[in-house]
Structure 1
Amino acid sequence: MPEISPQQSSAPIGCTYWKWCGKVVAAHQCRHLPVLLALLGSSFETVRDKAMRELTEFGPGIIDSLRLVRRNSAARRAALVMLAEFGWNHIPAEDLVMLRRLIRMKQQGEAPESLHMVLPGGAWFALPTTDQAAVLDALELTDPVPATMRMGFALWQGAESERMPTDMWTSRKGDFWTENSQLYGHSLCPEVFVTPVLDGWTLVFCRNEALGGMTPGSTSAHSRYELYQRMEQLSQRFGTAHWYEQFIIDDYADTTWSQWCIARDGEIRMHCVSSDDVYVYRCEEHDPVDTLAELKAWMEANDHERQPRSAQDEHDRAAAYAAMLHERNGDDRLPPEGQEPDPAELDDRFPAADCAQDLVFGAYAAAQRLSINLESLGPDTTVEGTGVLTVPHSLRHLLRRGALPI
């Protein structure tokens, strides 16, 4: 077990074994801290994981003690993971140098991996450009950090700090806990992943409202105004701009909310929302899109690969949804904005139509046709340049933290 002297660390920590009374002691005085630091080097994963969870409950006062873990010890890797979760600024400079070298090495030969539809919960922009600097400037992104695609996609798919018990810190009393909860208690992840160029497209992944101030799942007039304004500006700069959003709103029922918006030359060409129904919120084409057949034809006409899709399952899902519209409306007219169908009616007559249509008209399906298929990413994908993790300028005050796979 390591010995911690007052000169090395006297920071206040909240010992987890005093959790019920909120005991705060100096790090060098806690007799439990050296034991847990030693257990970070256990050969058993469950023991290491338990030790890490217990240590994070002590609060940021253990940071100096984690930095003291010997470089050649078995506990060093776990200590670095914990330092990353408390904040990237706490990682020692010599370790940062090694991490940057490792990231650069892996970036050279890295192939993107397929992203399955059920995993992500967030939004992404798709821009047909190879100018990463222009993308960062257009979206007001700053402080880029080199990142592998594995890092960026893991962050977007939900790899956040799982061991940081901010709810426990918030529930405790006293200045020590209040200070920690304010530092770590924000739910918004500020990191935005800008990919290398993939088959001619630069993708920008964010966790919902991190860019543009959009509330997840919101189609309010204010949210749409902000979205349209940003999309118009991006399309003026890059010719075309795509935005997609998707997340699971009911794990048990496997219900998905998704939106997608396409802008060209400063105009919003299409904004489509897919949830229990399909809504066309805005369309600035010469011929308005009012029916399901017209929407399907528009997607086929704007297929960037210009390849017909003959998959039987796609046809069946669209047909099931069209049948539901015919039953309700007498034709395949799309429901007007704000008109909510009777859920009981949908369940009784067409139990699968109200969710299967998302696989045809949702964000993932639209991205397959209109920009880049995230499920087909792999060794055959053309990759140019390297990716970066960055933050919006307005979120620079938030702590950058979290351990990510490299």
Structure 2
Amino acid sequence: MPEPTVEALIGDLDSDDTAIRVAARDALQQRGISAVAPLMRALTGPASERALSMYTVTLQRLGRSAFSTVVNALASEAESDAQSAVTKRLSRVLRGFRTDCMVEYVGELHHDSPVVRAAAAGSLGCCGSAALPYAVHLLPLLADADRQVRDSTTLALSRLSADVAPMLSQVRRGGPGGLRRGALTVLADLIDPRELDPADQAAIRRLINIKQLDDSPQPFTACFLAWIAVRTGDQAGLLDLLELSDPEPATFVLGATAADSDSHDFQDGPPYPQYARVFVTPELDGWTLVVGRWCSPIDEERSDHVAHMCQELSAHYGAAQAYFFGAQNDGSAWLVAEHGAIIRRGASDDEGAADDPEWEIGEPLPFEQQERDRLIAEGGDVEFEWEFALLEMAPKLAGALSINPLEVGATTPARGRGVLALTPYGAVHGVPPGALPI
């Protein structure tokens, strides 16, 4: 029986039978370079998602045999449409050669096409610590004329491990000057910002101070947003009462991004990186917000301490409130304290508070009752609608009682400047590394 043709094997890559697909993939790998051109034609034409995935994997298994063909096709396609689906497919193939083609990747870092340069840099990053010996070849691309290349290189160096930090620190001290800014971004992504050279810390601080001159309030958007609102403009007093340390100037963009980034850094035990730092806003229409997962009134690790903090803050300033809001229907929680006493603590059922009859405190607030009365007046399935209303209760209640962080903006009255400060957790354990937009 004659061997199947390359074209027949490529057709089998879209078979409903997994065994047939795997056998075709392995057979094409055995054919070597003779399979490359037909596979490329299939990859760049119309095909099912399953077939495209199999074409990609098969080409990647061919490694060096397919490398130059993929690069040439990527450069050609990108010249006509750098954002096309075919360009993205070819970039994905290139990244998949991994450690088999690290030397080849280095050779393409100087390609005329910025799309190829970006893909080659990103591909080295995908090799992880194995690509450390080639890290020095990535450095010039930190000052590439193309933004995509610079971003891809920054991410690639960040993926190579903290072992590249000494090399980047040398760039910061000795140049070339055009690489210094990119090197600082990567360093901030690799290590605790407090471990940066004092001169680098000062450079970041100067840039933030300049940007704060015309900084204005921005809405807070995060998957998991937690905050404490205090009726005061006494930022220094808040820092002292909450035992927050090392305050550094922060724009709204920086503070909001830090809160969002940290809230995703879940960990079940100490040192709880999601609790390491908070953004303390300027005074906003008579209120100051402390934003970060450390402020959540519902987190099992934090709820008792947050309740105690709000009691103390309200005793000192008259009113303090703590909220949690999950933007993807992950629930709401709220705590309202006045003059040293908690008058209300509640949550949607999604937050599990209903499982603990002692967790809820006080009677529903007038705003809560208003919302329920509104649903009753509208008719329909009140209980069903009420479940969804509770999911979004935290920001709406905050808007009625203090400040809704989802709705602050350039027109919100503001006085002072924001700071990013360490919580007691962060003071001991440090903060998660990661460059943040200023």
TM-score (norm 2): 0.60
1:242 to 321, 331, 335: 321
2:401 aligns with: 370
Query: Is residue 159 of structure 2 the alignment partner of residue 89 of structure 1?
Result: no
Query: Is residue 335 of structure 2 the alignment partner of residue 261 of structure 1?
Result: yes
2:308 aligns with: 229
**More helix per residue:** 2
User: Which secondary structure does the structure 1 equivalent of 2:188 belong to?
Assistant: helix
Output one character per residue of 1:52-109: Cα deviation in whole Å (capped at 9) or x when no partner. 3332233222111112226454433221111111231354433433332222222233
* 1:119-138 superposed matches below 5 A: 119-138=222-241
| Cα-Cα RMSD | 3.8
Runs of 4 or more above 6 Å deviation: 15-18, 159-162, 277-280
**More strand per residue:** 1
Distance 1:189 1:18, change over 3 A: same
Output one character per residue of 1:31-66: Cα deviation in whole Å (capped at 9) or x when no partner. x12112222222333333333333223322211111
The total of aligned residue pairs comes to 306
Query: Is residue 434 of structure 2 the alignment partner of residue 402 of structure 1?
Result: yes
Query: Is residue 348 of structure 2 the alignment partner of residue 274 of structure 1?
Result: yes
2:159 to 35, 38, 57: 57
2:382 to 324, 342, 361: 324
Query: Is residue 189 of structure 2 the alignment partner of residue 158 of structure 1?
Result: no
CA distance in 2, matches of 1:243, 1:151: 22
CA distance in 1, matches of 2:130, 2:204: 36
Which residue identity is paired with 1:107?
Q
CA distance in 1, matches of 2:302, 2:127: 46
* 1:314-393 superposed matches below 5 A: 323-325=381-383, 350=384, 354-359=387-392, 362-393=393-424
Distance 1:379 1:53, change over 3 A: closer
Distance 1:355 1:71, change over 3 A: farther
CA distance in 2, matches of 1:160, 1:324: 33
Output one character per residue of 1:255-292: Cα deviation in whole Å (capped at 9) or x when no partner. 231100001112111112124599795444xxx44xxx
1:198 to 259, 262, 284: 284
Distance 1:79 1:319, change over 3 A: farther
CA distance in 1, matches of 2:407, 2:367: 23
User: Which secondary structure does the structure 2 equivalent of 1:100 belong to?
Assistant: helix
2:170 aligns with: 68
Greater Rg by CA: 2
CA distance in 1, matches of 2:148, 2:408: 34
Indicate if the aligned counterparts of 1:275 and 1:355 stay in contact, CA closer than 8 A: no
Distance 1:130 1:298, change over 3 A: same
Indicate if the aligned counterparts of 2:193 and 2:201 stay in contact, CA closer than 8 A: no
Distance 1:384 1:120, change over 3 A: farther
* 1:176-187 superposed matches below 5 A: 187=273
Indicate if the aligned counterparts of 2:220 and 2:406 stay in contact, CA closer than 8 A: yes
CA distance in 2, matches of 1:35, 1:322: 65
* 1:276-291 superposed matches below 5 A: 282-284=360-362, 288-289=363-364
Query: Is residue 136 of structure 2 the alignment partner of residue 34 of structure 1?
Result: yes
Distance 1:73 1:371, change over 3 A: same
Q: Structure 1, unaligned stretches of length 5 or more?
A: 2-14, 163-184, 249-253, 290-294, 301-308, 326-349
% identical aligned pairs: 29
2:207 to 99, 102, 106: 102
Distance 1:71 1:354, change over 3 A: same
Indicate if the aligned counterparts of 1:122 and 1:247 stay in contact, CA closer than 8 A: yes
Output one character per residue of 1:201-225: Cα deviation in whole Å (capped at 9) or x when no partner. 0110112xx358x663x4xxx8654
CA distance in 2, matches of 1:402, 1:393: 20
Distance 1:58 1:266, change over 3 A: same
Distance 1:63 1:160, change over 3 A: farther
Indicate if the aligned counterparts of 1:83 and 1:90 stay in contact, CA closer than 8 A: no
Instruction: Please report how far the alpha carbon of residue 189 of structure 1 lies from its aligned counterpart in structure 2 after TM superposition.
Output: 5.2
Indicate if the aligned counterparts of 1:317 and 1:357 stay in contact, CA closer than 8 A: no
